[in-house]
Amino acid sequence: MLLIVMAVYALILLILAGYLLSHRHRPFLSVNVPSPELAGNMTLTAILLIVCAVVAVVGGFIASKTLALVAITVSAVFVGIFGLSLVRAIN
C-alpha cells in the first residue's frame, strides 16, 4: 500500500517539476517571461522535487514510513520556499 501511495506522490512531484522546467522561458502564472532569478528558482525547485520523487519511490519500495515521511516533508518545505520566493519575484 505504501508503495502505491508513494508512487502516486512521486508522479505528482515529477509533473510539478516538469511544469516548472518547461515554463522557465515561457509565461508562468501572471508573469509573461520569468526573470533570470525566477527561472533559476524554478530550475532549482524542479531538481529538488525530482530528488524528492526518487526518495519517495525508494521509501515506498523498502516500505520505510520514516523515509516516506521525510520525502513528503522535505518536498513540502521546498515547494513552500518556492512559493515564498514567488511573492518577491512577481512584485
Each domain of the chain, given as residue ranges in start order, spans 2-90
User: In terms of pLDDT, which residue wins out, 47 or 26?
Assistant: 47
pLDDT value at residue 24: 87
Which residues neighbour 30 within 8 Å (Cβ) at sequence distance 6 or greater?
A: 90
Q: How confident is the model at residue 28 (pLDDT cuts 50, 70, 90)?
A: confident
Q: How confident is the model at residue 30 (pLDDT cuts 50, 70, 90)?
A: confident
Show the DSSP H helices in the chain as ranges: 2-22, 36-61, 65-90
pLDDT tens digits along 48-88: 999 999 999 999 999 889 999 999 999 999 999 999 988 88
